[in-house]
Chains A and B, each alone.
Chain A
Amino acid sequence: MQGFLDNLIRGWGYDPATWPGTQFIYLFFMGLFSFLVINFAAISGGIFSWAERRVAARMQSRVGPNRVGPAGFLQWIADAVKLLFKEDLIPTESDQILFRAAPYFMMVGFCCVFVALPFSHRLIIADMNIGIFYILAVTALIVVGIIMSGWSSNSKWSLFGAIRSAAQIVSYEIPAGMALMIPVLLAGTMSTQGIIRAQGAWPWQWFVFDNPAATAAFFIFFTSALAEGNRTPFDLPEAESELVSGYNTEYSGMRFSYFFLVEWGNLWVMSALAVTMFMGGWQVPFLPADRLDALHGWPAFFAEVASLGVFFAKTLFFVFVVMWLRWTLPRIRVDQMMNMCWKYLVPASFVAVLFVAFWMLVVRAAPALGIAMHFLLAGVAGVAVVMFVLRVAKNLRDTGDKFDFTSNW
């Protein structure tokens, strides 16, 4: 952040170091950007709520909300207004203080993550040297809010949801953490920006294709992230068909909307994290990170916008994948959820970390092997994507339907 400001100001021909009270200027801009980022979190949550409904509708052969604004884009604002105006119901038998406080805990845990999440080459609130560590720690705060809401609602269904959520989030922290250690190992740093800089813009330079264990680690991380974000197939805490609505059953109005803001905002968090750690982050093709550093003034600004665009495109793709998974898969059961974590993901993630450490030694001895593996894995992934597209086309043909993406938005 500081670097971004310095660079911008220097580009315009001033030297901030000579100014008096630069710290206050930084502080002001920090505050401004924090405000912007919190709003970004909230607004992205809202927009994803609309996007998810449209995506779900298309996948289910429906139309979805398309009345408010172009293609229904302003639907989320209408919903927010409605939720704001709704009565804030608090059950008589509930624990009043905890019941009121729980949504804020959720919001805090969720917004804090954005501090260490990068958006572009220089756009990050704080590029901490323990960024990953910080993110893992702060995301666990959400579980406090969920347990508080479930307990204070004084409803059996809410409590079920809360306890499931606690078990789930706490368990899946472990495979998620272990899987994230692999990019850390490969990059040699815990700073999110540092990890991105250690990768490249092209797919074969990404960590996900570094070696088979890293690919496995990506899937382990993605699965765990789904579980931590309470997304299908791990939406047990709010399993609609089992627990009515889970931990937020008793909530209404604005407090209810906080829960959903966090749920949809989490889509961005998990996708951005996956892109940062495994998919090359904001790296722009033909513009390596050191060349980006060297730019000043307007070129720097445009390069910044380009890197922002790359990062957004990748992240939004993963947001779409998460939605896509949700509207495809059934939900697993509590014991299977625990089984999967402790019997599949945890051992696999440990093995993957060991394998990566071993692989790094191998690559140090024979660098050509590492590069070959990069290209091999990226090639396999490319073939898989092509096969998948063909499969989709076959599905379309099989039932005698025509390709028609544009009509009836």
Chain B
Amino acid sequence: MAETQISPQQTPGAFGAYVKNVRDTAKSFWEGMSVTLSYMFRKPMTTQYPDRMGVPVQQTIPARYRGFLEVDMDICTACQACERACPIQVINIDILKGDGKLVPKLRMERFDIDIGKCMFCGLCVEPCPTGAIQHTREFEGAVMHFNNLTLRFVPDVLHPVVAYKPPKGAEAFPRRELGEITRKLIKAWDAPPPAFPSEEVAKADHGKPKPGGALDISAMGRQLAARALQVKEDKPKLQKVLEEAMAGTDCGDCGYPDCFGYSDAIAQGKDSSTDKCAPGGADSKAMLETILVSLKTGTVPGAPAPAPAAPAPGAAAPAPGSALEPAVAKGPPLAQTLPKDELFKVVLDAMAGTDCGDCEYPDCEGYSKGIVYEGQTDLNRCAPGGEDTRVKLYEIMLGTKPPPK
């Protein structure tokens, strides 16, 4: 560098400048060309991906690499911490709360990660209590159809995955080898895209029951009915359950602008018809009927394990799992009637039970202890339990309805 340094502010005469320019040009070309020629005789820095790599590219990537996400469902506690941490709602988890009766344990019906939308920021990995969700070193995302880009870790809605209950005080969790699950899912990416139905076929299919009959409609109906019973009082939630029974195409055939309109009308009790969903056809009709009947009777018709105590028809049927609620609501709150140890159990029961740690206690037990013994007054902290848990906790501790958020 020093050789080519040009001394500042020389003002040579016209001919001097001429010679100086020629000399500098020659000198700098000499330097530059010697550099480029020396690179002719060096090994190229690039490697030829993917076929001329010495080792598979995944092995050359450092361990912290943030590739596709992977969830080991065997150790997933269904705490939904990842779903809440995600800034762009890439992760979708549907949980079915356990009530000990119809649905014995906390289950996950859906755990989808839309890789097409994911920005690989790694924020979902950090709050996971068991390390179930991790970034793998897989990154090749060429697919035949972009729908295939959604990784579904619960392959079948009808077979929900039971949430993992971590043993108390556990530090390490038995996780499957990183990348195994995602690699298996990625293999499906090479599947050809679903055939686009021709116009005639699409028209002919409109309003007919779906062929195949692979879905067990009555089972789905019962499931939805069970969920509808749980949220009977909560109109917006009930609407969501009802909407699930519909085709979800927002076609407007029912006379409402979209599926929301129709399901909302049913949920509010303004509409009691079940046959208006044309795309859903007979399936939707059957499911909606099941839900409405069960809402009326308070039991799930033909359920394999019927609710043990048949509640009096017509009376405000207690929703399963919140048996305390109607009985005690009028009296003083449980917090004043029960001994502390009993109260602790009731409070613990009201929580989601995922030990996610969002409440800033290590687990659900800690938060319950905090509420019962240590005078914690903030009852809004259970994020996975959401509104349900809030309502219950307020009922138990204060005997009031929770303030709106």
Contact = CB atoms under 8 A, between A and B. Distances in A.
A binds B: yes
Interface of A: 55, 57-63, 324-325, 327-329, 344, 388, 391-393, 395-396, 401-405, 407-408
10 contacts: A58-B44, A61-B45, A63-B46, A344-B18, A388-B30, A401-B42, A403-B41, A404-B42, A404-B43, A408-B43
Contacts of A329: 29, 32
Given A324-B33, A328-B29, A328-B33, A59 B22 contact: no
A328 B40 contact: no
A62 B34 CA distance: 18
Given A59-B37, A402-B42, A405-B40, 11 more contacts: A55-B40, A59-B36, A61-B46, A324-B36, A325-B33, A327-B36, A328-B35, A393-B38, A395-B38, A396-B42, A405-B41
B34 A395 contact: yes
A59 B41 contact: no
A55 B43 CA distance: 13
A328 B35 CA distance: 8
B43 A328 contact: no
A392 B43 contact: no
Contacts of B32: 328-329
Contacts of B30: 388, 391
Given A328-B29, A329-B29, A344-B22, A62 B44 contact: yes
A344 B43 CA distance: 40
B34 A388 contact: yes
B39 interface: yes
Contacts of B29: 328-329
Contacts of A57: 44
A395 B18 CA distance: 30
B40 A395 contact: no
Contacts of A392: 34, 37-38, 41
Interface string B13-53: 00000100110000001111111111111111110100000
Contacts of B48: 63
Contacts of B31: 391
A348 to B, nearest CB: 9
Residue from the set A55, A324, A392 with the largest chain B CB neighbour count within 10 Å: A392
B38 A63 contact: no
Given A344-B18, A344-B22, A324 B37 contact: yes
Contacts of B40: 55, 58-59, 405
Contacts of B37: 59, 324, 392
B3 to A, nearest CB: 11
Contact of A58 (B33, B34, B39): B39
Classify chain B: how many residues form its interface, as a range: 20 to 34
A117 B366 CA distance: 93
Contacts of B36: 59, 324, 327-328
Q: Which of A327, A328, A329 has the most CB of B within 10 A?
A: A328
Nearest to A388: B34
B200 to A, nearest CB: 34
B44 A63 contact: yes
Given A344-B18, A344-B22, A61 B33 contact: no
B44 A408 contact: yes
A404 B42 CA distance: 5
A405 B29 CA distance: 23
Interface string B212-231: 00000000000000000000
A401 B41 CA distance: 9
A257 B295 CA distance: 75
Nearest to B43: A404
B44 to A, nearest CB: 5
Contacts of B22: 344
Nearest first, the 6 closest Cβ-Cβ pairs linking A and B are A395-B38, A404-B43, A391-B34, A61-B45, A328-B36, A59-B36
A63 B52 CA distance: 12
Nearest to A326: B36
A339 to B, nearest CB: 10
Contacts of B38: 392-393, 395-396
B258 to A, nearest CB: 44
Nearest to A64: B44
Contacts of B46: 61-63
Contacts of B45: 61-62
B150 to A, nearest CB: 35
A362 to B, nearest CB: 24
A203 to B, nearest CB: 20
Contacts of A404: 41-43
Contacts of A60: 39
A290 B220 CA distance: 102
Nearest to B45: A61
Contact of B44 (A61, A325, A328, A393): A61
Nearest to B39: A59
A396 B44 contact: no
A394 to B, nearest CB: 8
B106 to A, nearest CB: 54
Contacts of A62: 44-46
Nearest to A219: B26
Nearest to A404: B43
Contacts of B43: 401-402, 404, 407-408
Contacts of B44: 57-58, 61-63, 408
Nearest to A395: B38
B196 to A, nearest CB: 28
A319 to B, nearest CB: 15
A24 to B, nearest CB: 51
A324 B36 CA distance: 8
Contacts of A61: 39, 42, 44-46
